Structure 1
Amino acid sequence: MLPITQNFAAMLLTLYCGFCYGFVLISSASAGAGSLSEKHFFEVGKSWDYDYVVRILLNEKGAIAKDVGFSVRGDLLVESVWSSEYRRLLKFTLKSPRLSIKSKKSHEDGGFTSHSSKLDSVKTTSFYGLWNMGKVEKVLLPKGESPTVSNFKRGVASLFQFQLLDQEITEDDSSGRCSVSYFSTAPNKFTKSKELCENTDLPHIITPDFVLSATIQSKREALYELDGEIRHILNIEAKEEHVVFMTAEEDVGNKVEVLQTLKFKETGSCPIINLDKFEDVFQKVVNEEGIFTEESLITQKVHIKSDDIKSFSNTINDYRDSLKAKSLGSLASAKSIIPLVRAARKSLLDDINKALQSKKNQKIQHQLIDILGHAQTMDSYNAVMKKIHFDDKKHEDLCERYLWALSLASQPNPEIISGLIEKYKKLINIPPKVKETLILSIASMANRLSKLPDKPGNTKIINAVKETITNGLDNAKNDNEKFVFLRALRNLKVKGILPTLMDVIRKGNRKEGILGWKAIRAMDPSNWNEDVLAIAKKTFYQLDKEHDSSSRTLAVDIILTSNPNEETLTNIIYFLLSKDKDFEVKQYAFQLIKMLAEDDPRFKDRVVRIIQSNPVINNYHILGQKGFSLALKRKFMDNPSSNGTLLTIQEMSTGIVKRGIVNVMMDKDGVSQEIFSLGIFSAGLGSMLSNDPDAASDDVATAGMELAVLGTQLRPFKFFEGQGELMGHVWSGTASDMTTAYQVLPKYKENIHIIPQQP
């Protein structure tokens, strides 16, 4: 076992104070004890001495013998010093606390061995709880005491909050606001269990994407034994377990177990405060023992200063080799992200500036920019803005790298979004690539912000982003500018943009229509209302005007994935009989129906029934549609926790891939999350490869690639635009050169949960 230092012992004390929790004392009507209104409960002038033990163990989920942890033992003295009707003032004193640690060398006492610590010199202090018919109305805590120690005392006071009757109620204690169940198991034995405990005062971070989030399973239960006359507690055994694991990989996680016992030793007597009013009692306690404050049982936030977190500049020294380009994509690179992001969030502007300016770090500038993008603090943002400038073409790569990192962070900072909007509006000479990436990143950050718990000002920021994009779309000077803002709406994908997108589809040109449908398709299907489905049908069947084939395939995709009714599904299948000249659209629709039928047996039964009901459709001439378009889904990972699938869509035109997509999807409990999407597109190439006069197009010869990471669309990467560029690549051989399109250190998941561990 590793040697235990004095600092480690101090850390255990901190954990002890942070993790320790109160006990639960309950009784039952069946015990024959009457009600809590009887005055022998916590009879004034009496005291009760208990042996108190708490053990905390940390382990990997599913592991048995690898746990580490500590134990604290002490004597708890409880004195009833004042009463008025059913109210009691209970005085609590924890004496002689002693620390033990888990050791492989120890074969006694559950594997724990005594260890010296600062607990040995802790000053014994008392605190009070005002008890009223089973409820601890408030606790009196010494002023100036550390929040960690105060929280521990709240837990001890929560021990004496109980009810006699079997029931289910809501209680506030040191675990938070919980749903509590009382149940009697014998005349003098009871259980108390708590679930759904919430404490909104404690910070928490939840990744909004379900598949990438963490799952917490908690169990809190305590067993009690009272004496035969139901006058005091004999024993309490409280068990608590919290398991935290990755939603998509349930084998990866940790488990915290807490066992707490309270054993009765003896009854004694104590001095009584002979005053009528509680206010006078409180003043007497203050005069004799010092200043106390009145507090609730709810655990308060603790700011812990950790010496383990170095400054950002010093942390880089530990991971510099892992950040070099040769290590990208390796385990060493992945391990460096968390400590560096943590250090960046704790560091101030000057330290981050120092790291960015250091000559030793010049070869890892891009990686540091990634880290600072995920940090999402104003100090990190201001440091980067001092290093790079959006309107400087020399900084183009670093600017895009930083914006990509910002757009992937699961917890966007509203102040940074506001700062980016201001720069977008004020800076005039931003290079086109950076300007497009800037507005796309702003939109993506606003979308992620909309998924987080609402806070004051968040809605205002989201509306400001929406207004910036829609105003830009309305005032665009040419089609290329419009396309940029339509792609930004695709990243924003909040419900309020639907009217704008549908207006673009109705009134815009063919390319605008495609981008409008792509934006709607990227939204959560719950946002597809009847108006969206109505315009989708008009687009697919071309009832209002001619639409591009890509718009039509996107429209039928939305219709079919919206659980269409029998009439709608029948009409789409009967569309295969139509004389529509765009056979690739019919082939795509049929391939999509087949793909959906493979995943959904009920949908398959509906399709088969419709086809078999009409002999005209149920034959090879119709079911063997002409064309090369396809849609298919194949699993690449299948385990009990989640499934991984590859979704491939290929829309063909004149024998050339017009729109191709490969999506990497993660599926969990019926929820699908797009992890990565690689798409290719082309236009204006039909006339070069086909003799069909219908293949002629006014489009400029273009081909390129589209990438989306966690739903964030990046700007398109064009291979060439125009036949001149195409032939230039052919004759020069540059089309064969390897070129990095996208490179980033991502931090996809971020979950922070603070769980007060009380029974």
Structure 2
Amino acid sequence: MFLQKFAILWWIFFSRWWCLLYGFTLISSATESFGFAQVNIFEPGQSWTYDYQTSILMKEKDGNGKDVGFLVHGTVVVKSLWSNSELDRFLQFELLSPKLNVRSGKTPTGNGFMEHTSNIESYTNSKFFVHWSNGKIQKILLRKDEPLSLINMKKGIASLFQFQIENKDSDEIDASGHCQIKYNALGTNRFRKTKVKCQSSDLPYHSNPDPVLNTEVQSNSVVDYELDKDNKFLKAVNVYETHEMYMKVKNSIGNVVNVRQSLLLTGTAKIDNLIAKNIDELVDNLSQKESWMFTQESLLTEQDVVSPVGTTSFQTIVKTYRNNLKTDAIGSISSAKVIGKLVAVGKTSTREDIAKTIGSKKNTHILSQLYDILGIVQTDDSHAAVMKKLYFDDKKHEEFSERYLWSLSISPQPNSAVIKDLVNRYKKLTNLPDKIKETMLLTITAMAYKLSLLPSFEKYSKVYDDVQVLILNGLEFSKNEEKYMYLRALKNLKSTSTLPKLLQILKNGSDKECVLAWKAITSFQPSHWNDEILATALTTFFQMDRKHDSSSRTLALDVLLESNPSDKLLERLVYFLISSCKSYEVQQYMVQRLNMIGESNIAIKNKIKSIILSDSKLNNYAVLAEKGLSTALKRTFLESSTGNGTLIAIQEIKSGIVKRGVVDIVLETNKVQQELFRLGIFTAGLSSFVSSEVDPAEAEETATAGIELTVLGTQIRPFVFFNGQSELMGHVWSGTASEMTPAYQGLLMPYNHLQFVRLSPGFISEMDLKGSASFDLSGKVELSLWNRNGVSLIKKSAGIFARGYIRVVTPFVKSQVEFTVVMEPKFSLQTDLDFSSNLSLCMRLSQPDFLYRHNIYKTEKVPGSKHQLRRTKNIKHILPGKTYSLNKKNNEMCSLIFKN
């Protein structure tokens, strides 16, 4: 009895162990050790019939709205006709009775689709053949005269039969493109194929390389396979694929396409084998039997170009939108929404068409805006057309030349041929006006920097190197004002190899040269600031080698604080508050910057608090009270899970006058930030107008004031309001600046993304996102020496329009999902100055209410029928206005000025 029980227990144990071992062996045979040699899949003489479905559905990202799209349903019959080894197969495919199904509110079925007649039913539809070898498809044989859309679908079906049954990584080319593949076993007869990083380098592509302003496209593709219990054939295949396109700075704005594809076995049968010595003989025999010629191709699908209904000339589209381009429309939605349309037509227009448009008398009043558009277009033809009309060395062309050059410098996709042409013209033209000379340099360097960000930069590295040599040589042999020009150009170039030269200037240069060198250094990402730069920043701020200009000190402080300062450095900075330094505004600036950084970095805030509380010399009102008017603040005006929009305001005050001021609109995402627009104010030698106590060093300075603009990270040449006391007094007595006057206007297109994504069923999806901005910066200054007061007002106005869509277009169905985003934000900075008795300065930074619109459109059409589906969703938000509190001292000053 004991032996009988033991035998039973032993048998149960052994049988369970054998099952596990057998299952493991099956997995192993389908993975690392045996592969296809073990399973002998797709044996000749067999036929398998599958129910086939593929669906393409599109909708808004992060939305609950209904989708739009289509489904193709049919039957796929696969026959294994021939084999010459264990691993070679010749398979015949037939796609029978393909039918289009569309979305409809009247759908009687539960899957949300309704069958609809379409062109696909009348297509020439023949058998196609596949040479299958060890899981790879070597070639697909198709009939030449079939429509391309049907051929692509067949490639999508054949791609389902390209797989490996072992845990491995590989590279494959199929209907999705050139992909990296990961295979994972899920059981004894189930496994998963995951596609990552699918590339389609042969299809059109461009995007803004900026890490904040670019467009993100994320793709996920998983194919689940199930074999029969003996691992002889495919029982089921299911594809789950998603592609999302969205703005990186705000990932809720975007579109998504969901792809589903499936094969489900419905029957098997026996068939006769074909006899041939090799593949070539087999193909010849089939050609004679079928009486039609094959074309041998890879699985890579081809773009089905649908002919456009007529083409629009540049002259025609400019005529259509001429009113939107008028000067009084700049800074509004009216002009912003047409930029993308004009650029799209301009990209395909001829040199003659563009030249005639520029030369038309009817366009004389919108020429500046046309040069903005052509700077974005930036094709060889558009540049040649502009160069026929503009002469950089003619002072009469100065305004239009600058508008064109500014637009070239700001465009995110530079043309290397245009850069080379500008470099040649800069070298050859000896009598360039000063403004054009500097603008050309700044444009060349900005374009070269953007060129260095492109994925294909290796092809253009010589162009970049030539630009760098041009700037460094110019800096070496220039003097005075011309040297300042080259230093500003280095800020646009942002080349790490120029950092040693900038450090040399910081050690030996004049005060103004050092300020410009620090501005160039602060344009780099903090990761590029090496130990020598940080040591120089420390020396400059604490004036360890010599007396430094206050702007150099505050800029050096910015570098120290943005470079993740150590506890020891923070302690040293905090103790600067009780040093013998009499630069109260520098101390005030440091307090403001520490507060600003502490608001976004709790760890630094706690360290500073701990340092102050640990020493009574620091922790008292006399030290921590606001002693000056200098301000540094950071305020959020746009928040999302992936990025924030922030407003940074910095005012460095000296003797009651803004010596260096910055109002910066910044987008931040994943700890990377991009300046959208920076307004910099600079002055010198003005203290004597508002104060009897003047620094002797400043008394020798020339009375100067102006603004510096940085647009999308690109430095624009400074605008100098006056240079010299006599010029200043001329403005004061004539009141020339008392009316609101544009300082900078422009049409921009920071978002310009186009990508074609191959979908696994054989369709190609077009993804397009264009974002435009119409910008206006205007200001006025009123100064009364009689009443001893003054007021300045600077206004930024922008119309912002973005449009993005995903569409799949075939001759038998067209589906699209589209979004638009519209808003008109405004900012104003008003400064009131009263120096009738004690000096009072009140700064007010404000943002009025503005409307944010987010609209979604989904459309579907079946060519040759009345079926049209359109779904619309409108979202509106009023973003409340704000007046930003600067600091307590400023509030007290405002109360004093406006006490009545």
Q: TM-score, normalised by structure 2?
A: 0.76
Q: Which residue of 2 aligns with 1:524?
A: 525
Please tell me whether residue 277 in structure 1 is matched to residue 278 in structure 2.
yes
Q: Which residue of 1 aligns with 2:463?
A: 461
Kindly provide the CA deviation profile for residues 632-662 of structure 1, in whole angstroms up to 9, marking residues without a partner as x.
Answer: 1122233434322211111111221100101
Q: Which residue of 1 aligns with 2:441?
A: 439
Q: Which residue of 1 aligns with 2:36?
A: 36
Q: Which residue of 2 aligns with 1:630?
A: 631
Kindly provide the CA deviation profile for residues 190-220 of structure 1, in whole angstroms up to 9, marking residues without a partner as x.
Answer: 5443334334444432322222222233332
Please tell me whether residue 595 in structure 1 is matched to residue 596 in structure 2.
yes
**1:155 CA displacement:** 2.3
Q: Which residue of 1 aligns with 2:837?
A: none
Q: Any conservation in 1 of the 2:89–2:131 contact (CA below 8 Å)? A: yes
CA distance in 2, matches of 1:192, 1:442: 47
Kindly provide the CA deviation profile for residues 162-197 of structure 1, in whole angstroms up to 9, marking residues without a partner as x.
Answer: 233456655443323123243426x55554433343
SS in structure 1 of the partner of residue 618 of structure 2: coil
CA distance in 1, matches of 2:117, 2:328: 47
**1:527 CA displacement:** 1.0
**1:504 CA displacement:** 1.5
Distance 1:526 1:693, change over 3 A: same
**1:557 CA displacement:** 1.0
SS in structure 2 of the partner of residue 559 of structure 1: helix
Q: Which residue of 2 aligns with 1:235?
A: 236
Bigger shift: residues 461-470 or 305-314: 305-314
Q: Which residue of 1 aligns with 2:727?
A: 725
Please tell me whether residue 133 in structure 1 is matched to residue 134 in structure 2.
yes
Q: Any conservation in 2 of the 1:53–1:261 contact (CA below 8 Å)? A: yes
RMSD of aligned C-alpha atoms? 2.8
Q: Which residue of 2 aligns with 1:613?
A: 614
Matched pairs, number: 731
1:514-663 equivalences under 5 Å are: 514-624=515-625, 626-663=627-664
Q: Any conservation in 2 of the 1:586–1:625 contact (CA below 8 Å)? A: no
Q: Any conservation in 2 of the 1:28–1:165 contact (CA below 8 Å)? A: no
CA distance in 1, matches of 2:485, 2:152: 53
**1:731 CA displacement:** 0.9
Give the residue type in structure 2 aligned to 1:182. N
Distance 1:300 1:614, change over 3 A: farther
Q: Which residue of 2 aligns with 1:356?
A: 358
CA distance in 1, matches of 2:310, 2:337: 16
Give the residue type in structure 1 aligned to 2:652. E
CA distance in 2, matches of 1:487, 1:150: 56
Q: Any conservation in 2 of the 1:179–1:194 contact (CA below 8 Å)? A: yes
Q: Which residue of 1 aligns with 2:835?
A: none
Q: Any conservation in 2 of the 1:179–1:197 contact (CA below 8 Å)? A: no
Kindly provide the CA deviation profile for residues 82-133 of structure 1, in whole angstroms up to 9, marking residues without a partner as x.
Answer: 2121111223333443333333343337444444443233222444322222
CA distance in 1, matches of 2:363, 2:224: 58
Q: Any conservation in 2 of the 1:29–1:35 contact (CA below 8 Å)? A: no
CA distance in 1, matches of 2:595, 2:428: 51
Distance 1:104 1:528, change over 3 A: same
CA distance in 2, matches of 1:354, 1:203: 29
Q: Which residue of 2 aligns with 1:397?
A: 399
Bigger shift: residues 413-422 or 208-217: 208-217
Bigger shift: residues 388-397 or 220-229: 220-229
CA distance in 2, matches of 1:426, 1:287: 68
1:678-693 equivalences under 5 Å are: 678-693=679-694
**1:536 CA displacement:** 1.4
Kindly provide the CA deviation profile for residues 702-730 of structure 1, in whole angstroms up to 9, marking residues without a partner as x.
Answer: 01111111111111111111111111111
CA distance in 2, matches of 1:550, 1:753: 45
Q: Which residue of 2 aligns with 1:20?
A: none
Kindly provide the CA deviation profile for residues 394-420 of structure 1, in whole angstroms up to 9, marking residues without a partner as x.
Answer: 222211111111111111111111111
**1:468 CA displacement:** 1.2
**1:736 CA displacement:** 0.2
Q: Any conservation in 2 of the 1:242–1:255 contact (CA below 8 Å)? A: yes
Distance 1:351 1:81, change over 3 A: farther
**1:693 CA displacement:** 4.8
CA distance in 2, matches of 1:130, 1:536: 67
CA distance in 1, matches of 2:424, 2:736: 39
Q: Any conservation in 1 of the 2:702–2:723 contact (CA below 8 Å)? A: yes
CA distance in 2, matches of 1:720, 1:691: 22
Q: Which residue of 2 aligns with 1:497?
A: 498
Question: Equivalent of 2:703, from 701, 704, 707?
Answer: 701
CA distance in 2, matches of 1:522, 1:146: 54
Distance 1:397 1:191, change over 3 A: same
Q: Any conservation in 2 of the 1:28–1:183 contact (CA below 8 Å)? A: no
Q: Any conservation in 1 of the 2:167–2:182 contact (CA below 8 Å)? A: no
Give the residue type in structure 2 aligned to 1:736. S
Q: Which residue of 2 aligns with 1:339?
A: 341
1:104-115 equivalences under 5 Å are: 104-108=105-109, 110-115=111-116
Distance 1:107 1:211, change over 3 A: farther
Q: Which residue of 2 aligns with 1:61?
A: 61
**1:461 CA displacement:** 1.3
Distance 1:543 1:721, change over 3 A: same
CA distance in 2, matches of 1:378, 1:403: 15
1:299-378 equivalences under 5 Å are: 299=301, 305-307=307-309, 310-378=312-380
**1:519 CA displacement:** 0.5
Q: Which residue of 2 aligns with 1:758?
A: 760
**1:327 CA displacement:** 2.9
Specify which structure has the higher proportion of helix. Answer: 1
CA distance in 2, matches of 1:286, 1:525: 66
SS in structure 2 of the partner of residue 433 of structure 1: helix
Question: Equivalent of 2:716, from 708, 714, 717?
Answer: 714
Q: Which residue of 1 aligns with 2:415?
A: 413
CA distance in 1, matches of 2:172, 2:715: 46
CA distance in 2, matches of 1:728, 1:134: 84
CA distance in 1, matches of 2:397, 2:93: 63
Q: Any conservation in 2 of the 1:677–1:709 contact (CA below 8 Å)? A: yes
CA distance in 1, matches of 2:361, 2:106: 49
**1:460 CA displacement:** 1.1
Q: Any conservation in 1 of the 2:191–2:225 contact (CA below 8 Å)? A: yes
Q: Any conservation in 2 of the 1:651–1:657 contact (CA below 8 Å)? A: yes
Give the residue type in structure 2 aligned to 1:83. S
Please tell me whether residue 71 in structure 1 is matched to residue 71 in structure 2.
yes
SS in structure 1 of the partner of residue 445 of structure 2: helix
**1:448 CA displacement:** 1.2
CA distance in 2, matches of 1:281, 1:699: 91
Specify which structure has the higher proportion of strand. Answer: 2
Q: Any conservation in 2 of the 1:29–1:165 contact (CA below 8 Å)? A: no
Q: Which residue of 1 aligns with 2:886?
A: none
**1:452 CA displacement:** 1.7
Kindly provide the CA deviation profile for residues 50-93 of structure 1, in whole angstroms up to 9, marking residues without a partner as x.
Answer: 33222212222234454222232333232222212111122333
CA distance in 1, matches of 2:515, 2:466: 25
Distance 1:290 1:357, change over 3 A: farther
CA distance in 2, matches of 1:327, 1:717: 23
SS in structure 2 of the partner of residue 239 of structure 1: strand
Distance 1:480 1:158, change over 3 A: same
Give the residue type in structure 2 aligned to 1:80. S
Bigger shift: residues 123-132 or 242-251: 123-132
**1:459 CA displacement:** 1.4
Structure 2, unpaired ranges of 5+: 1-23, 762-900
CA distance in 2, matches of 1:95, 1:357: 59
Q: Any conservation in 2 of the 1:70–1:99 contact (CA below 8 Å)? A: yes
CA distance in 2, matches of 1:28, 1:359: 82
Distance 1:92 1:68, change over 3 A: same
**1:609 CA displacement:** 2.4
CA distance in 2, matches of 1:752, 1:500: 39
Give the residue type in structure 1 aligned to 2:174. D
CA distance in 2, matches of 1:406, 1:251: 30
Distance 1:144 1:122, change over 3 A: closer
Kindly provide the CA deviation profile for residues 563-603 of structure 1, in whole angstroms up to 9, marking residues without a partner as x.
Answer: 12233222222222322233322222232122212221111
Question: Equivalent of 1:749, from 745, 748, 751?
Answer: 751
Q: Any conservation in 2 of the 1:100–1:115 contact (CA below 8 Å)? A: yes
Q: Which residue of 2 aligns with 1:11?
A: none
SS in structure 1 of the partner of residue 255 of structure 2: strand
Structure 1, unpaired ranges of 5+: 1-26
